[in-house]
């Protein structure tokens, strides 16, 4: 049998050899035999699993969130345990999870655009202003979440001049509902703020683009700051993961009778 070196695997997937070593140490590749001189003896099977692991873990700065990460991790661990039928099932479930997340994000973006143009606005008409506790109960969020949205610049709440308390009226409630919907759909604070700054300038077009496009000065950002693009990439990766698992299954030696 012809064995592959650590550097061979690293070159094949475009990573540093230390990355391959970390994958081995973390149990993300099948056990690796060593030569009498102590060198790891990788096989083509290890390379196949490395390609699979890279689809799951090779996100760079654009971490896809805990649910998707754990789903991908379960695929790897199930495959390494030699339950390839189970790994295939998990791979298809992973694709369904990504597609559900993407649908949720798209619906939230559509609602944002309708709200920006005055259509299908959340119905929160009230003749009286509300206090922060009442708003928290109405939106089913904590008071701390509301205060964080205020501190992070997502909304500017007017205050009662007599006592300094925040007072929430119809415009604030409608804006907060949109913020909550976007946040629960996976969009990050920076993405929502970026979009709202544009909206407050009176620019109601390309809000979806603003949600998904970090500014040049945002040199450090996460997956949630470009969530639509991240999910589109995740869906492509999910299809690739399925294909890789299917290929590993096809290359398994037939069972002896």
State pLDDT tens for residues 141-153: 999 999 999 999 9
Which residue, among 55, 100, 61, has the nearest Cα to 242 in the 3D structure?
Answer: 55
CA angle (131, 124, 163) in 5-degree steps: 20
Q: Note whether 115 and 122 are within 8 A (CB).
A: yes
Higher local confidence (pLDDT), 118 or 12: 12
State pLDDT tens for residues 6-46: 999 999 999 999 999 999 999 999 999 999 999 999 999 99
Q: What are 247's two structure tokens? A: 């290929």
The confidence score (pLDDT) of residue 249 equals 93
Which domains are delineated in the chain?
1-58 (1.10.1660.10), 104-223 (1.10.1660.10)
Query: How sure is the predictor about 163, in pLDDT bands with cuts at 50, 70 and 90?
Result: confident
Q: Report the alpha-carbon distance of residue 20 to residue 7 in Å, rounded.
A: 8
Q: Is 91 exposed, middle or buried (0-12, 13-18, 19+ CB in 10 A)?
A: buried
The confidence score (pLDDT) of residue 125 equals 56
Q: What is the mean pLDDT of residues 139-167?
A: 91
Alpha helices in the chain (DSSP H): 6-13, 17-25, 44-57, 66-80, 84-116, 132-139, 143-151, 170-184, 189-200, 207-212, 227-250
Question: What's the predicted TM-score (pTM) here?
Answer: 0.86
Query: How sure is the predictor about 257, in pLDDT bands with cuts at 50, 70 and 90?
Result: very low
């Amino acid at each position: 049998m012809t064995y592959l070196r650590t550097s061979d695997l690293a070159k094949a997937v475009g990573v540093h050899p230390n990355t391959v070593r970390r994958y081995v140490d973390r149990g993300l590749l099948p056990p690796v035999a060593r030569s009498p001189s102590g060198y790891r003896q990788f096989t083509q099977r290890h390379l196949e699993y490395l390609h699979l692991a890279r689809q799951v873990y090779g996100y760079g700065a654009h971490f896809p969130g805990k649910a998707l990460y754990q789903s991908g991790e379960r695929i790897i661990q199930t495959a390494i345990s030699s339950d390839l039928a189970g790994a295939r099932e998990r791979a298809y479930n992973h694709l369904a999870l990504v597609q559900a997340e993407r649908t949720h994000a798209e619906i939230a973006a559509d609602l944002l655009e309708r709200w920006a143009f005055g259509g299908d606005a959340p119905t929160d008409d009230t003749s009286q202003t509300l206090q922060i506790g009442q708003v928290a109960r109405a939106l089913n969020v904590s008071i701390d979440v509301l205060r964080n949205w205020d501190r992070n610049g997502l909304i500017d709440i007017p205050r009662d001049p007599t006592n300094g308390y925040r007072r929430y009226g119809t415009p604030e409630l409608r804006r907060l509902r949109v913020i909550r919907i976007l946040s629960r759909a996976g969009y990050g604070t920076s993405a929502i703020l970026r979009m709202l700054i544009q909206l407050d300038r009176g620019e109601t077009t390309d809000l979806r683009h603003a949600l998904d496009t970090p500014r040049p000065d945002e040199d450090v950002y996460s997956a949630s700051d470009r969530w639509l693009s991240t999910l589109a990439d995740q869906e492509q990766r999910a299809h690739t993961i399925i294909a890789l698992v299917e290929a590993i299954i096809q290359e398994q030696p037939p069972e002896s009778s």
